[in-house]
Amino acid sequence: MRILTIDTSAVASATLLNFEPNDPVRTLSVVGNFATQDTRSHAEVLAPGVKSLFTDAVIEGPALDAVVVGVGPGPFTGLRSGIAMARTLAFVWDVPLYGLMSLEALAQQVFDTPRHGLDGRALGPVAMGDFVVATDARRKEVYWARFSAAAQLMDGPHVGPPTDISDIQVFGAGAGLYREQLEQTGCEVYSVLADVQPTALALGRAAIRRISVAGSLEAAGLLDTTPLYLRESDAKVPGPRKRAL
């Protein structure tokens, strides 16, 4: 199975992945991967980045099994860039299109990161139990969601001040940005994962884990591509003009 994943909830990123659903651990291979650290140039860099993943997109695109796109939460402009690109490619190539919450990409990175003992041996995932992943929502707020130690969504997504989160491990760029506030509410911030952002590669790994557990794309519980903005748009439709007299 081959899928293209796109996420622009924070940075612009795209990944092309090959895997066998019955054994993704052994068979997963990254055919191509693109990600930028710039959080403000999604529209300019995304199309060339996606194109760079293919030798011949005209031939290879229609042969994909699916396109999976991160649906946020994230800023309006960046999020729209990725979703519009995914919708366009899926339509042109006539391949199935699915969405997945971008915070699941962070949860997957937590799940994949080992916790080591004093002797250096891996003891299991770094998350000791339920955990929260958080990204920067600006305005002194974070986008966040709660997951089980097995990276299963339990609550969220939400947007709000970091002080809304308490007494739990917190991972992601939102944790690093608001470490002091989180620690004041009893949270633990793990430095190794205190600056990570959602990426298409991690989103793809999260989607593949769902597919392998469910046995098929159709049964994996993936979303449609409705964006999770969580906030009202700052742009408003102008009201009627006031009378001068």
The token pair that represents 193 in the structure block = 């994962």
- Report domain 104-115+122-193's class: alpha beta
Query: For 76-86, what is the mean pLDDT?
Result: 92
Superfamily name and number for 2-102+198-214: ATPase, nucleotide binding domain (3.30.420.40)
The answer to whether residues 81 and 46 touch, using CB atoms and an 8 Å cutoff, is yes
Higher pLDDT, 236 or 146: 146
Residue 125, preceding bond cis, omega within 30 degrees?
no
CA distances from 44 to 13, 48, 49, 87, 199 (A): 12, 8, 9, 17, 17
> What is the 3-class SS of 99-166, one letter each residue?
EECCHHHHHHHHHHCEEECCCCCEEEECCCCCEEEEEEEECCEEEEEEECCCCCEEEEEEEECHHHCC
The answer to whether residues 5 and 207 touch, using CB atoms and an 8 Å cutoff, is yes
Q: Is pLDDT at 185 greater than 90 in this prediction?
A: yes
Query: What does R_g of the chain's alpha carbons equal in angstroms?
Result: 19
What per-residue confidence (pLDDT) applies to 232? Answer: 67
**Separation CA 200–CA 76 (nearest Å):** 18
The DSSP H or E segment spanning 18 is strand 13-18
**Separation CA 132–CA 151 (nearest Å):** 10
Which sequence spans correspond to the domains of the chain? 2-102+198-214, 104-115+122-193
Task: Please write the tens of the pLDDT for every residue from 84-112.
Answer: 999 999 999 999 999 999 999 999 999 99
For the whole prediction, is pTM greater than 0.75?
A: yes
Q: How confident is the model at residue 119 (pLDDT cuts 50, 70, 90)?
A: low
**Separation CA 133–CA 191 (nearest Å):** 13
